[in-house]
Structure 1
Amino acid sequence: MDEYASIGSARIFLAIVPDAGTVERIHRLASALKRAHKFDGKLIAPERLHISLFFLGDVSERFIRAASEAAMQVQTEPFEVSFDRTASFRGRPGNRPFVLIGENGLRRLESFRRMLGAALTRSGLRRAANTNFTPHVTLLYDARGVDEHPVQPIFWTVTEFVLIRSMKGHEYLGRWPLRA
């Protein structure tokens, strides 16, 4: 593919994906909360559950290489994340994200994201390295929203992060293990 050719209408982003056991726990919780809140929206498929770190957009192969180079620069040991509440984000009218959120259990994630953002900036992707970040896992989209509500914490140890091309599914373009 030409280095400046576009990837089409795919969305490219860096993310953290929960392990299989955590995906199962999140999906079970999402199913129960969908019923409890009487949401009509479709649950996010288990294989698409993730924490978005940086959205790179519809980018060229050159940008994908730069993002991969940045990812290789980041060195940190595995860390735990913990989500203990759900809430609805504003979103587009009729399409509000219902998400898992947390606070104290996400400090290491926020630190990791700052390191990755600095690496993206050094690799020439400053526009992608925005500082706005509310760590969350989207469970579904619905026309209605609900207030914040506590849940039994969902936690896991983050051992890697990935570069995803999202079109009609998630294709992993790169994986980077966390190491000290």
Structure 2
Amino acid sequence: MPQPIVHGLFCFAMDGFGSRCSARLFLAAVPDAGTAARIHLLASALKRAHRFDGRLVAPERLHISLFALGGLPEVQHCAAWEAAMEVRTAPFEVAFDRTASFRGRPGHHPFVLVGEKGLRALQSFRETFCAALARRGMRRLATTNFTPHVTLLYDAREVGEYPVEPIGWTVKEFVLIRSSNGHEHLVRWPLWV
């Protein structure tokens, strides 16, 4: 079994460090640098077209959130780690073909990439992950609603759905991210069968 590639500090460690850094931990799929640059370029054009004032999400922060782990007790971090080690699937494609505004909090609406057909493999991957979490007693986390998206910016204004030329990438890994002033990629799990 391949071991995850560890970068930086590992928050699931049993020495108590996990409880100090868990507030903004999440698992995500991250685009490669070239795709992130293309998404950022698209977001910039759409920001002008929609006359948004919000700041664009930086290319290195673009991602698809899979599970939020912040605020969970350390024992559940360890269970999530075990579930991540169990998940086996081949790399798969994701593709987004629309933009839309999510409701968000007043004056802070996420403007996002969304899709449908191009995200079925991602939905299937997450269901597999959910089953692994549920086997470890994390049913609440496993049953949270999931609308796959990539947030491009936040703005006071909302807009309806808008078609775009499909944009996507091959998901070859998922990543544990700690969000603070930037995104720190703590652990990477490669996809394999």
Q: TM-score, normalised by structure 2?
A: 0.87
| Deviation of 1:120 (Å) | 1.4
**Structure 2 residue 172 is the aligned partner of structure 1 residue 159:** yes
Q: Tell me if 1:128 matches 2:128.
A: no
Match for 2:76 among 59, 63, 80? Answer: 63
Equivalent residues in 2 for 1:132-151 (5 A)?
132-151=145-164
Quote the residue 2:38 is aligned against.
25
Q: 1:131 to 1:147 in 2, by over 3 A?
A: same
Matches within 5 A, 1:109-128: 109-128=122-141
Residue 20 of structure 2: SS of its match in structure 1? coil
The letter for the 2-side match of 1:85 is R
What SS is found at the alignment partner of 1:179? Answer: coil
Cα distance in 1 between the residues matched to 2:166 and 2:72? 36
> Which string of whole-angstrom CA distances, capped at 9 and with x for unpartnered residues, describes residues 67-87 of structure 1?
111111000001000000000
Q: Does the 8 Å contact 1:3/1:62 carry over to 2?
A: no
- What is the deviation of 1:21? 0.7
Quote how far apart the aligned CAs of 1:8 are. 4.7
Provide the secondary structure at the position in 2 that maps to 1:22.
helix
Aligned-residue sequence identity (percent) comes to: 71
How far apart are 1:4 and its partner, in Å? 8.4
| Unaligned stretches of 5+ residues in structure 2 | 1-13
Q: Report how far residue 97 of structure 1 moved.
A: 0.3
- State the aligned residue count: 180
Task: Specify every segment of 5 or more residues in structure 1 that has no aligned partner in the other structure, as ranges.
Answer: none
Q: TM-score with structure 1 length normalisation?
A: 0.93
Which residue of structure 2 lines up, in the alignment, with residue 169 of structure 1? 182
* Kept in 2: contact 1:12–1:59 (CA 8 A): no
Change (3 A) 1:50 1:83: same
